[in-house]
Amino acid sequence: MTVQHLNQLLLACSLTLLLAVAAVRVSSRSGLPSLLVYMGIGILLGADGLGHIRFDSAELTQLIGYAALVVILAEGGLGTKWKQVRPVLPSAAVLATLGVAVSVGVTAVGAHYLVGLGWRQALIVGAVVSSTDAAAVFSVLRRVPLPARVTGTLEAESGFNDAPVVILVVAFSSTGPVEHWYVLIGEIALELAIGAAVGLAVGWLGSWGLKRVALPASGLYPIAVMAIAVTAYAAGALAHGSGFLAVYLASVLLGNAKLPHWPAIRSFAEGVGWIAQIGMFILLGLLVTPHDLVDDVLPAVVIGLALTMVARPLSVLVSLLPFRVPWREQTLMSWAGLRGAVPIILATIPMVNGVDASGRIFNIVFVLVVVYTLVQGPTLPWLARRLRLGEEQPASDLGIESAPLERLRGHLLSVAIPEGSRMHGVEVNELRLPAGSAVTLVVRDGQSFVPLPSTVLRRGDELLVVATDPVREAAERRLRAVGRGGKLAGWLHTDADGVEGV
């Protein structure tokens, strides 16, 4: 490649990226997950489109897809709120294991008897489409506040179920006979245990180190966090465990560890996650050949009906039966089983392994994801409202960024008071910050001043709070508590330290 070729490639990639960024606005207004827009761009650039780019490497697609999934899972884990997921962790874990098994079995039976696929191909299709996609679900639900149990279960399930599904697809796509079911279950359990152990260990060590070592530049913190997450994946995979589970759990720990410069970390992770999604979906659009999909549209619709109307509701019912989840929440979770990037990426595994009819499997999965995302995506908010599962919008959380002052043994907290925060109208002395911390500066309407104890805080204000090392976390908890509960946070919602009451 010459420098001229590099310049042309950079121009093409940057223009494609700008087009994809602009397409996000279209998808957000229409309520459709952005994955469809990105795949549309890929198809437009492909052999049957205007770009006439011929791309047919399933191996390269699989490698890039795996790398992108690592980044997407890391970004999802960093954004997962532990207090929201913790109460529903058992139900989400059952849904991601037992629920996957039920979904695979029912879908495979439908693919075999209704479409005529061989048992191996039917099992592969059943396993491939049994993984849900958090990005697709929440891209259409972000405008509809839901009960914490529903969002927490869907989020945790989508983070957990990638691991067992990948193991199943690899097993079904391997050469030779499929192992006995009890051997397969044992392998899945072992890989999940190893992945969980590695992910928790790497996440804990990473958060412990980042909170105690002051890096010389704030821009190094996001890089370090993403490097730790990728380390968890690689270490888990090399230890013959589930790297996907490892990266998700490590990221959840990092995301709830109150790391310094957290807003910068979160913004960086979101940006990298968007790039991973855009690149992966455009690549998938390039890989598919639209005129080859015509014969597989009807089989994909039939298998999708079996999955959406039978397999998914049955897996939700069986998995959540011990937890006494109300039927309305079960109904929404059944319909919210959106498929996204993972199934299409996993559909490249049988292609790489040379499984018979693997091209047809890929086409069926591609059509199924597109058709049922078009159907389910726009109707999810409507269904949530019909089931009366919308909740009143909670108070906006504060944006707090912590910068360590290593030589001074303290921290400088930058606090932004957003619209909807209940800190609006609270006096500085009513914050009741722990000893060793104080509000030193307020920036309002572009003007900064040193506040008095009687200064009333307003939405849109930015505060600088200095806190010593021992009380930094307590000061941050207290600020968040007042942001959620106002001046009566200690009486209504949280205690003096910002810990939620019972």
pLDDT digits (tens, 9 = 90+) for 326-367: 999 999 999 988 887 788 888 999 998 888 888 999 999 999
CA distance 18 to 335: 32
Residue 498 confidence (pLDDT) above 60: no
Q: Considering just the CA atoms, what is the radius of gyration of the chain in Å?
A: 24
Q: Which range, 10-24, 80-94, 229-243, is most confident?
A: 229-243
- If phi > 0 it is left, if psi is from -120 to 50 it is alpha, else beta; for residue 211 that is alpha
Collapsed DSSP state (helix, strand, coil) of residue 6:
helix
User: Given this model, what pLDDT does residue 141 score?
Assistant: 54
Classify residue 113 by burial, with Cβ atoms within 10 Å: 0-12, 13-18, 19+.
exposed
Range scoring the smallest mean pLDDT among 15-19, 132-136, 312-316, 497-501? 497-501
The pLDDT of residue 136: 66
Q: Are strands 399-405 and 437-444 parallel, antiparallel or unpaired?
A: unpaired
Tell me the HSE value of 480 on the side-chain side, using a 13 A CA sphere: 16
| Whether residue 410 has pLDDT greater than 80 | no
Range 313-318 average pLDDT: 94
Tell me how far apart the alpha carbons of residues 481 and 457 are, in angstroms, rounded to a whole number: 15
Tokens read off for 424: 């609006």
Residue 218 pLDDT class (50, 70, 90 cuts): confident
The two structure tokens encoding residue 147: 């009960």
Return the pLDDT at 493.
Answer: 45
Query: What pLDDT does 252 receive?
Result: 93
pLDDT tens digit string along 261-294?
A: 887 888 899 899 888 888 888 888 888 888 888 8
Task: Please report the pLDDT score of residue 124 as a whole number.
Answer: 93
Is pLDDT at 393 greater than 60 in this prediction?
no
Average pLDDT over residues 421-435: 89
Instruction: Measure CA 361 to chain center.
Output: 26
Report pLDDT for 29: 62
Whole-angstrom CA distances from 470 to 263, 269, 434, 437 are 22, 28, 10, 10
| Closest by Cα among 398, 76, 74 to 224 | 74
pLDDT at 413 (0 to 100): 85
158-185: per-residue pLDDT in tens? 878 888 888 889 888 886 666 666 777 8
DSSP secondary structure letter of residue 179: P
Query: Closest Cα to residue 115, out of 366, 294, 298?
Result: 298
14-24 pLDDT, tens per residue? 988 888 888 77
Look at residue 336 in the predicted model and tell me its pLDDT: 84
Mean pLDDT across 217-229: 91
Judge whether 313 and 320 are in contact, CB under 8 Å: no
- Residue predicted with more confidence, 198 or 16: 198
What pLDDT is stored for residue 397 in this prediction?
60
pLDDT bracket for residue 492 (50, 70, 90): very low
496 has pLDDT over 60: no
DSSP three-state, residue 336:
coil
The mean pLDDT of 448-457, rounded to a whole number, is: 91
Residue 434 contacts residue 474 (beta carbons within 8 Å): yes
- The partner residues of 447 in beta bridges, in order of sequence, read 444
pLDDT beyond 60 at 111: yes
Q: What is the pLDDT confidence band of residue 502, given thresholds at 50, 70 and 90? A: very low
> Starting at the edge strand that comes first in sequence, how are the strands of the sheet with 399-405 ordered?
399-405, 410-416, 462-468, 437-444, 447-449
Cα(428)–Cα(451) distance, integer angstroms: 8
- What's the chain's length in residues? 502
CA dist., res. 183 & res. 200, Å (int): 26
Give CA separation, 477 vs 141, 191, 496, in Å.
Answer: 28, 36, 9
- Closest to 117 (Cα-Cα) out of 279, 303, 391: 303
| Higher-pLDDT residue of 71, 185 | 71
Quote the CA–CA distance of 306 and 372 in Å, as a whole number: 12
Average predicted confidence (pLDDT) for the chain: 84
Q: Which of 170-174, 251-255, 483-487 has the highest mean pLDDT?
A: 251-255
- The per-residue pLDDT for 391 is 55
Instruction: Find the angle CA(44)-CA(45)-CA(51) to the nearest 5 degrees.
Output: 110
Q: Find, among 373, 281, 378, 391, the residue nearest to 29 by Cα.
A: 378
**Do residues 340 and 38 lie in contact, with contact meaning Cβ atoms separated by under 8 Å?**
no
- Residue 230: pLDDT above 90? yes
- The predicted structure's pLDDT at residue 497: 40
Say how far apart CA 364 and CA 299 lie, in whole Å: 7
Q: What is the mean pLDDT of residues 144-153?
A: 77
pTM of whole model > 0.85?
Answer: no
DSSP string, 285-306: HHH--GGGSGGGHHHHHHHHHI
